[in-house]
Structure 1
Amino acid sequence: MEITVESDRYADLTSGVQIHVGLLGRMSISRAGRPLTLPASRKLRALIAYLALAPHALTRERLCELLWDIPNDPRGELRWCLSKARCLLDEPARSRVRTDKDTVRLDLTDCYVDVTDINRWMQQGLPTLGTERLRALSGIFGGDFLEGLQIERSPDFQSWLNAQRRRLRACHAAILEHLVARLATGSQESFSCLDKWLQLVPFDLRVHELVLQALTHRGRLREGEEHLAATVRAFELEGLDSVPLRKAWRDAKTRAAGHSGPEHTLLCAAGATLPASESDASSSGARRASIVIMPFLDRSAPSGARGGIADALAFDIITRLAKLRSLFVIAQGTAFALDQRNIGPEEAARTLNVDYLVSGSLRRQAKRLIVNVELVESRTARIVWADFFDYSLDDTFLALNEMGDRIVASIDTEVEMAERNRAILKPPSSLDAWGAHHRGLWHMYRFNRGDNELAMQFFKTALRLDPTFSRAYAGLSFTHWQNAFQGWGEEHQREIDLAFETAGQSVFVDDRDPAAHWAMGRALWLRGERDQSLTELQRTIDLSPNFALGHYTLGFVNCQSGDAKAAIDSSDHSRRLSPFDPLLFGMLAVRAIALVRLGRFDEAADWSLMAVARPHAHAHILAIAAQCLALAGRVEEARNLVSTLHKLQPSYSIDGFVAAFRLSADTEALFRKAAERIGIA
């Protein structure tokens, strides 16, 4: 089903735009439809392309370092290139080449740049685009990125150029894949798209499966046999598993025998293109999202050199992600072997048929270590998350450890969010265990009684489909925990018992899953077993130092009656690991309660207000903020919050607040005093 109906084609994309910059194929610039003659200088073309895609202004020093191999006067050559760029891009009333002191940028907001247009639509999401839009985007690819351009003795630029070429080939493949899914099986256009797709990623199992399906649908079995034989030989020469290809051929012939009508399309077949192991897993419900972390590119190392900081960082991320146990992580040996065969990250992800890809690069500059990382959805080429890190080279080992923490926590959070959003768009009856679990998470993080009940039902569905799914047990425990903590359940003690029981099932199923021990730690706290709770939560952190919710919950327990300073440290660390976490309001509230216990009421009030401002902050968070404001002497603001709180929950009182938490006696006295001042006693 097309979500967006489009009627424009490539020619319409550039209508009304004076300046057109083409970076796909040989570089071109046209004004009002008339092509301009570009100077012969390759570095001028490279400079324009690099600035056109740069997200921010760049220093002259950086541009000289990028493109010039220590000439006599690199800044002079840069000035010459900028003057030529102005001749091409500027107009009397419109300056597009902008310089400000020592920085340079291109302002092409009123121009059409083909790669920028592709990037924009890719980020919107290919599944949301109509067939005509996909055709138009496919038509933009008139060749490779900056085709024919090479800059000798400029390894940094060459690395960037190669990365852009690989990324854009992946974009083209993703566009073709989604376009093929909209076309009739065996049509001339579909075969044309499949041929282009094969040229881009010859070891992508999905395209070979679809070619075989299309050939059998048209009754061209001999061509199918020939394609299979040639492809199997190519796969085996590369050391790749050819068994899924043979299975795909058998399945295609079986499917063709049962589908002879013209209505049968590749879109129907696209759901049956996983390798045998993954297909079996999906049918039983036991599936996890898969991810490959490719070796990072060290832009500062000699060409071909391996084994340095870049490889160490990639290996560290693989190890830490595997400890989280929430994703199927491709082993280091496989990822590094593909890299050594010069298979780029995007093609490797398609060859391995994984859902997500992590790639990155690092460079050393002026005693700084700069690392760029991207998380990409492999089948849509959409960048899910990207970040860069900048550390002093003097602190390399500390930097690697901190980067590993932040990268792994971000990957875990972003993949979970992407999977939740994907699950919520599917009909409930079509969900496997993985999808039902993430649909449950989507509802769970809404933090209201109705959604909590729906979350519970989806977690139960996940467990019915896969009784060995530890994370679904942990989610189910969380919903019972919420019922007890928020006072939503009809039988308070029964909810406590169920939270503990389901957490125990989670630990039993997978004793090495940090989420299982996190659920158990929360359940033990709910039962009033504080010391055992802290032990279990520490086990969570020991299993995976990157599990942000483990750090948060350690802070949650300590802020009420334990070490207040340790609670602040745990809160801060959890937020560094997961700065956009659905439970961010809780992390901020933990800090506020700990500050109250330390007598720092003004700070507590400010942090509590940040907690209230987060989405889905529930009644207890509003109550914490109101009482912190009262303790800080900001009574009028506190009473305004109480008014909001009573609209949300008219009968809310300090007794309910105290019953929900496990506050030390002196902390409880402080909150009761504040509650009396603002009318919730």
Structure 2
Amino acid sequence: MPERLAFGPFVLNPEAGTLLRQGLPVAISYRGLLLLSAMARNAGEVLTKSELLNAAWPGTAVEESNLSVQIASLRRLLGSMADSKEWIATVPRVGYRFTGSIERLDEAAATRNSAEPEPSIAVLPFANLSDDAEQQYFADGLAEDIIMRLARLRWLFVCARNSSFSYKDKAIDVKQVGRELGVRYLLGGSVRRSGQRLRISAEASDTSSGRQVWTERYDVQLADFFTLQDQIADSVIGAVEPKLYAAEHHRYISRPPASLDAWGFVMKAMPHIWSWSSESELAVAERLLRRAVDADPDYPRANSLFAWTMASRALLGLAEPAEVLPKANEMAQRAIAHDADDPWTHFAAGYVHMMARRSEEAVAALTNAITLNPNFAIAHVILGAAYGFGGMPEDGLHHLAMAERLSPRDSTQQPGILTVAGLCHFVAQRFVDAASFEHRAVQLRPHFGAAWRTLAAAAAIAGNLDEATRALSEAKRLHSTLSVQWVEKYYPMIREQDRAAYIKGLRIAGLE
């Protein structure tokens, strides 16, 4: 049975790479996990700095400041013990000591510990009951915004949007969906729009019994739509966990757009953004986002997603990076300036930084996004990519595993997870594994040029020249200006040795 170490409200599973707080996943970094595991296994003992550096960066020479940064991050993550003392004590000029009491859980204890599940919920797509099928974006947008509001509560595990939306237009069994998504509650409902009026019904059900725990109907003016989203979220919080502080929710309400039209254009753009970036889908998304920005130039979500699409064009070779990345960064920073508490703004900034080879800034921004929304699965995927491009593949794979735990039925994000996994294995020089992951990615998304490119490089070094040649042909079809010079100048790999290996593979495949 995997080792489980319990302390305070936490359960650490070093082998699985997980840290739970009151049963809910905690977004801990890969190096932080290794350090915490080493200290918790030796609770009460002083571990020297060299011992901890070797535990978290085995066989790698790193500066001591990296250890200090990770310890500070762990302290923020864990908070204080009940007596206000720190979990991790500094031993001056020597190292650190874990001060908490550790309980090693056996199978029976683990079963008892999981007998009463912690608060968790999935928000299903709302049904569109309007006469106009085009109003489906309104129903999807309502569910999308409620997910974002609930997901920012640290004590509530919220299943990622793409997993819960996999049940769209399907007859569901509450108990079965609860088992498949691993959640205690389901929220769903319907929307009917008629002119300037909305009729919305919503209900939350307990997946263990199938019993409704809350239901409500609303008949409101369209102008009250954003206020109503907050009201529904607050009501759900009160229904599923009345003993917890529902007031926490009010600290995390994003600024609504000045225009309902701007919101609508963003919601219409969302499905095209998650296509993993075909040129045609990006074009549709950008047309809609441009209309959103025209309607409300300061709308943070619109600016964030526009920055994402522009940076995606750079990655796919559909635009000149030197031209679009500064513009994308400007839009992302504008979004942060208008709503620094919206995780999407930091997410977009992190993606742009990654594409511009600003690795430290990318990791910092993406970590901020996850801090603001611990259930932000796609942010873990992109943070995994940032670590992979930055030469830390195991850190990257750690965050991919967290993304998959947060969004277990996410077919939309699967191509991205696979190609980032391929990238990480490539950087780790596991070229056969890299080619395997990239092959699966292009099977799911044949237009995914970045995956074809890495498949060509990995397959060539692995000795599969036929697959490498075909992959390069597809990559060049999707990225007509692809060249060794482009990879050297723009591909976001930070370390020269990683780019050299990538170029070597592409040259074997036939790139000039």
Normalized against structure 2, the TM-score is what? 0.51
Alpha carbons 2:317, 2:482 under 8 Å: kept: no
Q: Identify unmatched segments of 5+ residues in structure 1.
A: 1-170, 182-266, 272-281, 294-312, 325-343, 364-370, 380-399, 401-429
Q: Deviations over 1:171-228 (max 9, x none)?
A: 9xx99x77xx6xxxxxxxxxxxxxxxxxxxxxxxxxxxxxxxxxxxxxxxxxxxxxxx
Deviation (angstroms), 1:598: 2.1
- 1:186-201 correspondence to structure 2 within 5 Å: none
Q: Which residue of 1 aligns with 2:283?
A: 453
Tell whether the 8 Å contact from 1:561 to 1:663 is kept in structure 2 after alignment. Answer: yes
Match of 2:207 in 1: 361
Distance 1:510 1:437 in 2: 16
Asked if 1:577 is matched to 2:406, the reply is: yes
2-structure distance, mates of 1:373, 1:601 = 51
Report the secondary structure of 1:661's partner residue. coil
- Could you tell me which amino acid in structure 1 is paired with residue 352 of structure 2? A
1:656 aligns with 2:502: no
Amino acid in structure 2 at the alignment position of 1:486: L
Q: Which runs of structure 2 are paired with 1:27-176 in the superposition (5 Å)?
A: none
Shift of 1:321: 5.5
Q: Is 1:679 aligned to residue 510 of structure 2?
A: yes
Aligned to 2:253: none
Could you tell me whether the CA contact under 8 Å between 1:291 and 1:358 is conserved in 2? no
Shift of 1:662: 2.3
Using a 3 Å threshold, how does the CA distance of structure 1 residues 445 and 373 change in structure 2: closer, same or farther? farther
Residue 667 in structure 1 maps to residue 495 in structure 2: no
After TM superposition, list the pairs within 5 Å mapping 1:325-364 onto structure 2: 354=200, 357-362=203-208
Match for residue 563 of structure 1? 392
Matched residues in 2 for 1:348 and 1:485: separation?
A: 38
Distance 2:280 2:405 in 1: 31
Contact 1:611 1:617 in 2 (8 A): no
| Among candidates 338, 360, 365, match of residue 509 of structure 1 | 338
What's the offset of the Cα at 1:435?
A: 2.3
Partner of 2:244: none
Q: Secondary structure at the match of 2:412?
A: coil
* Paired residues of 2:359 and 2:386 also in contact (CA < 8 A): yes
Q: CA deviation at 1:460?
A: 2.1
| 2:367 paired with 1:538 | yes
| Larger helix percent | 1
**Is the partner of 1:362 in helix, strand or coil?**
coil
SS at structure 2 position matched to 1:497: helix
Are 1:478 and 2:308 matched, yes or no?
A: yes
Q: Show the counterpart of 1:591.
A: 421
Aligned counterpart in structure 2 of residue 631 of structure 1, from 458, 461, 474: 461
Contact 2:293 2:302 in 1 (8 A): yes
The 5 A counterparts of 1:12-31 are none
Q: Does the alignment pair 1:521 with 2:350?
A: yes
Q: Compute the displacement of 1:644 (Å).
A: 2.9
Structure 2 runs not aligned, ≥5 long: 1-125, 162-185, 193-197, 219-239, 241-258
Q: 2: CA distance between counterparts of 1:488 and 1:635?
A: 26
Cα distance between partner residues in 1 of 2:262 and 2:323: 26
What secondary structure sits across from 1:552 in the alignment? Answer: helix
Q: CA deviation at 1:432?
A: 2.3
Q: Which residue of 2 aligns with 1:620?
A: 450
Given that residues 477 and 499 in structure 1 are in contact (C-alpha distance below 8 angstroms), is that contact kept between their aligned partners in structure 2?
yes
1:8 corresponds to: none
1:545 and 1:607 map into 2 onto residues whose CA distance is 26
Equivalent-residue separation in structure 2 for 1:528 and 1:663 (angstroms): 6
Asked whether 1:644 is paired with 2:474, we answer yes
Larger RCO, structure (CA 8 Å, separation 6 or more): 2
Return the match for 2:435 from 597, 600, 605.
Answer: 605
Deviation at 1:631, TM superposition (A): 2.0
CA distance in 2, matches of 1:290, 1:356: 14
* Structure 1: distance between partners of 2:428 and 2:422: 10
The worse-fitting range, judged by mean Cα deviation, of 662-671 and 651-660 is: 651-660
Matched, 1:439 2:268: yes
Counterpart-to-counterpart distance in 2, 1:457 and 1:357: 35
Q: 1:351-379 CA deviation, whole Å, 9 max, x = no partner?
A: x954664423226xxxxxxx9999x9999
In the TM superposition, structure 1's runs of 4+ consecutive aligned residues that sit over 6 Å from their partners are 290-293, 313-318, 344-350, 371-374, 376-379
Whole-angstrom distance in 2 between the partners of 1:677 and 1:346 = 52
Give, as a single letter, the amino acid of the residue that structure 1 aligns with 2:357.
G
SS at match of 2:208: strand
Match of 2:444, SS state, is coil
The one-letter amino acid of 2:325's match is I
Structure 1 residue 347: Cα displacement:
8.9
Cα pair 2:394 2:424 within 8 Å, conserved: yes
Distance 1:358 1:641, change over 3 A: farther
* Counterpart for residue 324 of structure 2: 495
**CA distance 1:576–1:613, shift in 2 (3 Å):** farther
Q: How does 1:366-377 map to 2 (within 5 A)?
A: none
**Aligned length, in residue pairs:** 308
Does structure 2 retain, via aligned residues, the 8 Å contact 1:481–1:526?
yes
Task: State the shift of 1:552 in Å.
Answer: 0.9
Alpha-carbon separation, structure 1, partners of 2:273 and 2:297: 20
Deviations 1:511-554 (A, max 9, x none): 11111100111122233322122111111111111101211111
Native 8 Å contact 1:555 1:568 kept in 2? yes
CA contact (8 A) 2:329 2:349 kept: yes
Deviations 1:382-428 (A, max 9, x none): xxxxxxxxxxxxxxxxxx9xxxxxxxxxxxxxxxxxxxxxxxxxxxx
Amino acid at match of 1:664: R
- C-alpha separation in 2, matches of 1:679 and 1:482: 25
Equivalents in 1 of 2:379, 2:491: separation in Å? 20
Cα deviation for residue 495 of structure 1 reads 0.9
For the residue of structure 2 that corresponds to 1:546, the secondary structure is coil
Matched residues in 2 for 1:462 and 1:355: separation? 27
Relative to structure 1, the CA distance from residue 572 to residue 320 in structure 2 (aligned partners, 3 Å threshold; closer, same or farther) is closer
Instruction: For residues 112-145 of structure 1, give each alpha carbon's deviation from its aligned partner in whole angstroms, at most 9, with x where no partner exists.
Output: xxxxxxxxxxxxxxxxxxxxxxxxxxxxxxxxxx
Cα deviation for residue 442 of structure 1 reads 3.2
Change (3 A) 1:347 1:621: closer
Q: Residue in 2 aligned with 1:226?
A: none
| Conserved 8 A contact 1:291-1:354 | no
| Distance of 1:627 and 1:480 partners within structure 2 | 25
**Quick one: structure 1 residues 583 and 355, their matched pair in 2 at CA, closer, same or farther if it must change by over 3 Å?**
farther
| Residue 485 of structure 1, CA deviation | 2.4
- Residues 435 and 458 in structure 2, CA contact (< 8 A), matched pair in contact too: yes
Query: 2:318, 2:479 within 8 Å by CA — same for their partners in 1?
Result: no
Query: Percentage identity across aligned positions?
Result: 23
The corresponding residue for 2:174 is: none
